[in-house]
Structure 1
Amino acid sequence: MTLLSISGLEASYGSSKALFGVDLTMSEGEVTALMGRNGMGKSTTVKAICRLIKSTGTLRVFDQDVHRLPSHKVARLGVGLVPEGRRCFASLTVRENLIAAARPGDWTMATVSALFPRLGERSHQRAASLSGGEQQMLAIGRALMTNPRLLILDEATEGLAPIIRQEIWAAIGRVKHETGMAILLIDKSLKELSAVSDKAVILERGATVWSGGMNALPLDIQEKHLGV
């Protein structure tokens, strides 16, 4: 089943156009890496999917046209977002953050704490007192507590210490293999993306320039569109 279908997606920030034709499809249980250099439209594509920015073109989530839906209704369809920059509720405790948007399903306080034991240990601490890595785990846990069918992670390991990055990548791998959840990943680490992703989509200047199996990504395409 196709969970996400995007074709010819365009979007702007005021008079500045950011997306010029993004094409992307995702199926049930598929992990897709959305890649490209900084400023190529990856986060804008995520904002369009979640209806945080207006867009045109084909945009169907779970076979429903979402162009006219507000962001909270897209979330209720089953889209869980881990936004860039974490954005936890600083004054709330870990537990309060997790239950704030919780919906019935397999992901509960117990299962999230099993995935990230640090969160269970710090359930009564305010989010503001957590380290950056712990806040990122909390953001992921909060998205999982909505029991989504499609989980979107926008730069989930950016700026974190290597040991914390490893913990988060291990958790993403567990979610993939143990639940079969569809995941859309944005990250700069090709090595870690390759280990968990089934498919890759590369953006260049707001448009899709390559898509295919992650294991079929040619070296020349990597160098042309992902190299420094």
Structure 2
Amino acid sequence: MSFLSLTGITAAYGPSQALFGVDLALEAGEVLALMGRNGMGKSSTIKVICRLLKHSGGTVQFDGRDIGNLPPHKAAQAGLGLVPEGRRCFGPLTVHENLHAAARPGAWDYAAVCDLFPRLGERRDQVAASLSGGEQQMLAIGRALMTNPTLLMLDEATEGLAPVVRQEIWAAVATLKRDTGLALLVVDKSLAELRRVADKAVILERGRTVWSGGIDALDRVVADQFLGV
């Protein structure tokens, strides 16, 4: 059984169907790239995993158990960590307060996060709303790590950031892969960067899994068909 497994997932927002059959599998310690054009169901899939969106069909299994009926806070306690699209830091709180807001005991503490992102340590007492976009993204990643998850999901973590900041984020992802036992699920548009860190990829098209396999097997023909503009 895979560490994370989605089988035949369907889901909707009210009368609007979003997912029509999503399948994916991720092993412990692996990095999975979840890919597809805009609006194809990537964020909805992550919401189903985190229990922020109820699925109407299929199964969601994580770490040996069916989590399909768990409320979101129980899913987080089970080891799911999310860096949401749009960062969603607590603007009025300081960096230190943001990091401790959802902290749970484990290897990832304030010092470890500041080792990964030294700028957060430098801005310890600065409110999140005054940080740059890149610093807020680092804070969002650090906050998720402070929950000490076993699976970390990053939804468009480099979206809208300056190139130099994007490289810092990718370097952090590479460090997490190399130095920790975390499983990672990464949504991003940069195939070149994903190839450097991911073990496998799943491509969604109109709410369905249309391709899955090792990232090295993702050739130009497939990429152009399902990822090209």
Short-chain TM bin: over 0.9
Q: Secondary structure at the match of 2:3?
A: strand
Amino acid paired to 1:149: T
Aligned-pair CA distance for 1:2:
2.2
Q: Secondary structure at the match of 1:37?
A: coil
Aligned-pair CA distance for 1:18:
0.5
Q: Secondary structure at the match of 1:211?
A: strand
The structure 1 segments of at least 4 consecutive aligned residues displaced by more than 3 Å after TM superposition are none
Q: 2:59, 2:220 → 1: CA distance?
A: 30
Q: Secondary structure at the match of 2:39?
A: coil
Q: 1:10, 1:205 → 2: CA distance?
A: 12
Paired position in structure 2 for 1:19: 19
Note if 1:62 corresponds to 2:63: yes
TM, length-normalised to structure 1: 0.99
Paired position in structure 1 for 2:106: 105
Question: Identity over the aligned pairs, expressed in percent?
Answer: 67
Paired position in structure 2 for 1:72: 73
Aligned residues: 228
Amino acid paired to 1:42: K
Amino acid paired to 1:163: V
Note if 1:189 corresponds to 2:190: yes
- In structure 1, stretches of 5+ residues that fail to align are none
Q: 1:223, 1:129 → 2: CA distance?
A: 39
Aligned-pair CA distance for 1:180:
2.7
Q: 2:28, 2:216 → 1: CA distance?
A: 19
Aligned-pair CA distance for 1:128:
0.6
Q: Secondary structure at the match of 1:165?
A: helix
Deviations 1:73-120 (A, max 9, x none): 000000000000000000110000001111111111111001000000
Instruction: Please say if residues 150 and 181 of structure 2, whose CA atoms lie closer than 8 Å, have aligned partners that are also in contact.
Output: no
Amino acid paired to 2:181: G
Note if 1:173 corresponds to 2:174: yes
Paired position in structure 2 for 1:132: 133
